[in-house]
Amino acid sequence: MMKKTAVSKTALDSGNYLKDLQRWYESYKYHINRRYAKNTKLLYSKAIELFIDYSLSIEDEMDSLRDIRSTTFDRYIDFLEDRAQSRGVKQKRDGRYLSKATKDAYIKAIKGFFTYISDNNDELYTFDRYFRNIKRMNNEKPEEKIKHLSEDEITKLLNTLNEEKDKKQSYNAYRNSLLVKLMLFGGLRISEALAIRLQDFVENEENGMYLMTIFGKGEKEQTGYIAIDIIKEEMEYFKNIAGIADNELIMKTKNKKPLNRRNALSIVNGIYKRAGVKKQGLHILRHTLAMRLTEQDTNPLVIKKMLRHSNLATTTMYAKASNNSVADAIKTLKGATK
């Protein structure tokens, strides 16, 4: 009988973003202890530990270390800025709280860490290209495309979901369709979509959308939005055919066990493949919603409300968008469901 092998210590990732960061950091600490002076070791350790703290806020966006881009590091600098402000650091003339030298030092430390990962993983996967695109250190915005689906790819994806529902008429087919749509049209994070129950959907017929009760990080209750028409077939199936209880998890396996993130990633990547979409990942669906709305010139405050995203500019962090604005924005997305 063959033994189940564990993930190699030098494998790039295991599919768990935070655990893999910690694993590589434990290895890297031994490396820097041998090579660097005390003050350098302290700086590098602090920079990486803060990067791991920051990663807690983006965990739901990252399926693995392969999802890192230059914008990941740019947002890390934003995290450091917010941290400095909250700790009472005096604001500088340019409106920042950290000097360019400080930003340079932290990015240099993080680059050293990811260079170590690049040099030591079995797959020879490298991160160097993402550091070449970082421009925020000079107070410039990075120029990088966010990975998302094109309109043609959205159509292929939805056609595949509909075909599989019609052909199989199974719980899993409707579950998979709802899972994708909650992220693609409702902007839910995968952890939020996996936790959804029928009782979390409240119809707002006037605006033609569902208000979804979502429990985010720290069990904070939030509201998500999705057009009723987009998930009408799925909701009718779960209510009238599958007959699941209002307080029952929708995202379950055929053995009635809760669907986990790894299951979901495998399922969604399989749907991409069958649809002829040469992209992978869960958070690409949430990115697609944000990009579509941005390209339609939707008010950024509406996008903020729809995605419930906390890492926006401080000046818009506390702004509120009306539910009617959200409804209007959602209605413009209906065309892709036909």
Q: What is the pLDDT of residue 175?
A: 97
Average pLDDT over residues 190-211: 93
pLDDT at 156 over 60: yes
CB of 12 closer than 8 Å to CB of 66: yes
What is the Cα 297 distance to its own chain's centre? Answer: 22
Residues 56, 101, single domain; the answer is yes
* 133 in any annotated domain: yes
**257 Cβ contact list (under 8 Å, min separation 6):** none
| pLDDT at residue 211 greater than cutoff 80 | yes
The answer to whether residues 231 and 305 belong to one domain is yes
pLDDT tier for residue 144 given thresholds of 50, 70 and 90: very low
Predicted local distance difference test score (pLDDT) of residue 145: 57
Number of domains forming the structure of the chain: 2
**Mean pLDDT calculated for residue range 189-215:** 92
* 5 within a domain of the structure (yes/no): no
pLDDT of 26 strictly over 90 = yes
C-alpha distances in Å from residue 111, one per residue of 14, 107, 128, 130: 21, 6, 8, 10
Q: Which long-range contacts (CB under 8 A, 24 or more apart) does 74-77 make?
A: 74/134, 74/135, 74/136, 74/141, 74/142, 75/311, 76/50, 76/51, 76/106, 76/110, 77/103, 77/106, 77/107, 77/136, 77/137
In a domain, 292, yes or no: yes
Q: Are residues 223 and 266 in the same domain?
A: yes
Task: Indicate whether 125 belongs to any domain.
Answer: yes
Task: Looking at the structure, tell me whether residues 313 and 210 fall in a common domain.
Answer: yes
Torsion region of 25: left, alpha or beta (phi above 0 gives left; psi -120 to 50 gives alpha) = alpha
What is the span of the domain harbouring residue 197?
Answer: 151-337
Summarize pLDDT for 224-237 with one digit per residue, the tens.
999 999 999 999 99
Could you tell me if 21 and 47 are in contact, meaning their C-beta atoms sit under 8 angstroms apart? Answer: no
| 97 part of a folded domain | yes
Stretch 332-338: mean pLDDT, rounded? 59
Above 90 in pLDDT, residue 1? no
7 in a domain, yes or no? no
Sign of torsion over alpha carbons 82, 88, 94, 95? positive
- Whether residues 164 and 309 share a domain: the answer is yes
105 and 163 both lie in a single domain: no
Mean pLDDT of 5-33: 82
Q: Are 54 and 112 part of one and the same domain?
A: yes
Within a domain: 115 = yes
Any domain includes 59: yes
Question: Tens of pLDDT along 98-121?
Answer: 888 898 999 999 999 999 999 999
Task: Indicate the residue among 138, 163, 185 that finishes a domain.
Answer: 138
